[in-house]
Structure 1
Amino acid sequence: MGGHFMLAIRLPPDIESRLDALAKATGRSKSFYARQAILEHLDDLEDIYLAERELEDVRAGRSVSTPLEEVMKAHGLED
């Protein structure tokens, strides 16, 4: 299986119980649902991380923001 790897994670007991119950009720594996959760939320987690890092850079003066009005004017979108 090229390109795949195993990942072991520790879950709180209540989450493990919920995942186990879902797997038993549906006949799918716990790994299936863990993989689905990661795939569905990874984009959001990346976006949050990048936004937080950019905000830190702006606050520290390492990055400069542009007012929305300037961006809209530059692209001919002003009212």
Structure 2
Amino acid sequence: MLAIRLPEEIEKRLGDLAEKTGRTKSFYAREAIMEHLEDLEDYYLAVHRLENPPERVWSLEELEQGIDLES
């Protein structure tokens, strides 16, 4: 269960959309979260990796030597 407070204008827009489409406000809130959650996770993972670089970095040549490109 999740309860969130939205600015009045956003709450109204969400309510209007729900009414026009016959869906619930919860449906649209859930859809919006699911749509953007992966982007947010990717963003924070990228920030973490920039702030905490790996101990070892491989060159493209090293990576290519490590895999069979003919398969």
> Same fold judged by TM-score > 0.5?
yes
1:46 partnered with 2:38: no
Segments of 4+ moved more than 4 angstroms: 67-70
Q: Which segments of 5 or more consecutive residues in structure 1 lack a partner in the other structure?
A: 1-5
Higher relative contact order (CA 8 A, sep 6+): 2
SS at match of 2:52: helix
In structure 1, the partner of 2:52 is 57
Equivalent pairs: percent with the same residue? Answer: 59
- 1:51 partner letter: A
1:18-57 Cα distance to aligned partner (Å, 9 max, x none):
1111111111100000011111221111111111111111
- 1:23 partner letter: A
Provide the alpha-carbon RMSD of the alignment. Answer: 1.9
Q: Which segments of 5 or more consecutive residues in structure 2 lack a partner in the other structure?
A: none
TM-score normalized with structure 2 length: 0.73
In structure 2, the partner of 1:14 is 9
Would you say how many aligned residue pairs link Structure 1 and Structure 2? 68
1:26 partnered with 2:21: yes
